[in-house]
Amino acid sequence: MESVTTYDELKDVISRAYPGMSKQLQRIARFALEQPHDMALGTVATVAEATEVQPSAMIRFANALGYGGFSEMQQVFRGHLLERSDTYRERIEQMRRKQVRGARAPSSVLHQLVTESVAELGHLEEKVSQLDMKAAVKLIAVAPRIHVLAQRRAFPVAGYLAYALSQLELKTHLLDGAGGMLRESLRSIAPGDVMIAASFRNYSPEVIEAAATASRCGASVIAITDGPLSPLKASARVCLELADDSSKPFRSLVAPLCLAQALVVSTGHHLAEQSADKPVRAAPRRKETR
């Protein structure tokens, strides 16, 4: 395999190689995509410790991607880090590392969560592709019906999208699976519809299966998920990746909800522009009677 030189290319290579990797290498792959900052600045030993593998596994991982060694692969992550212009993200990251993990006071917990949420929002703007956002907005704006699905931790994202999109007078249906009727609810999905599905590690099997069903029915699936290794990506026409850090014991919903709100507001702008572009028909002139 020939090695690639850009981070975006490397992400694609890791995604394609991931299914055939061993469990150890898959663990490293998830870490590499979720924590590119640590991959750029860490040593073989520190990254191996963080991923709970032997240092030799790091070398095998780099070799599997076409690199002669870890340092050669790391240059790609370092190049990606240098491309980032907003130094505030680095400052926030340093603040997080200096915090005492054992702090239990409510004020300390609030401070830690606020700091982490600000960092997540910075990464969100960096990770989500503007082309993908535009593609998602266009699909939502013209869909005859929109079906929204998420479970477990991601459910508030679906609840907000269902409410907010309906306020734009779009036909929106929340697939909440109440009473175990999710599979029956999927029968209402028709070609041309849009399903917005949100799921993060550990992924909900019902959401993954429902997205695949919607895609087979001819609906366009918009996935909100945590990275290129998500099983949702296989069914998605548009995949919005948040780079959610699955290593945290309590993961924030700030970034997913911010993304959901951006989708709604952007869709509102798109609909308004479409209305403004439509020609206004002149009222028919009445014939004068004599």
Residues 94 and 154 placed together within one structural domain of the fold: no
Q: List the CATH number of the domain containing 178.
A: 3.40.50.10490
Judging by DSSP bridges, how do beta strands 238-241 and 220-225 pair with one another?
Answer: parallel
Closest CA to 122 of 84, 173, 171: 84
Model confidence pLDDT, tens digit, residues 135-160: 999 999 999 999 999 998 899 999 99
The confidence score (pLDDT) of residue 283 equals: 56
Evaluate whether residue 255 is within a structural domain.
yes
pTM of structure: 0.69
Evaluate whether residue 143 is within a structural domain.
yes
Residues 54 and 137 placed together within one structural domain of the fold: no
Residues 145 and 245 placed together within one structural domain of the fold: yes
Give me the mean pLDDT over the 55-79 stretch.
91
CA gap 10, 44 in Å, rounded: 18
Lowest mean pLDDT among 76-85, 187-196, 205-214: 76-85
Q: How far apart are the first and last CA of the chain?
A: 88
Q: Which helix (H) or strand (E) holds 22?
A: none
Tell me which residue range forms the domain holding 214: 130-276
Evaluate whether residue 160 is within a structural domain.
yes
Closest CA to 232 of 256, 216, 213, 208: 208
Distances (CA, A) of 100 to 35, 105, 110, 117, 119: 21, 11, 13, 17, 17
The confidence score (pLDDT) of residue 182 equals: 84
Model confidence pLDDT, tens digit, residues 15-33: 889 999 999 999 999 999 8
Give me the mean pLDDT over the 49-68 stretch.
92
Q: Please, what's the largest Cα pairwise distance for the chain? A: 99
Helices 44-51 and 23-34: crossing angle in degrees, nearest 10, is 110
The confidence score (pLDDT) of residue 144 equals: 95
Better pLDDT: 246 or 5:
5
Residues 113 and 226 placed together within one structural domain of the fold: no
The confidence score (pLDDT) of residue 145 equals: 96
Give me the mean pLDDT over the 243-251 stretch.
61
Does 124 score more than 90 pLDDT?
no
The confidence score (pLDDT) of residue 85 equals: 44
Band (pLDDT 50/70/90 cuts) for residue 284 is low
CA gap 149, 232 in Å, rounded: 12
Q: Is there a contact between 223 and 240 (Cβ–Cβ < 8 Å)? A: yes
Evaluate whether residue 289 is within a structural domain.
no
Residues 147 and 255 placed together within one structural domain of the fold: yes
The confidence score (pLDDT) of residue 257 equals: 93
Residues 135 and 271 placed together within one structural domain of the fold: yes
In the chain, the number of structural domains is: 3
Mean pLDDT of the chain: 83
Residues 180 and 73 placed together within one structural domain of the fold: no
Closest CA to 8 of 119, 83, 92: 83
Residues 52 and 76 placed together within one structural domain of the fold: yes
Band (pLDDT 50/70/90 cuts) for residue 181 is confident
Residues 264 and 164 placed together within one structural domain of the fold: yes
CA within 13 Å, CB half, 49:
6
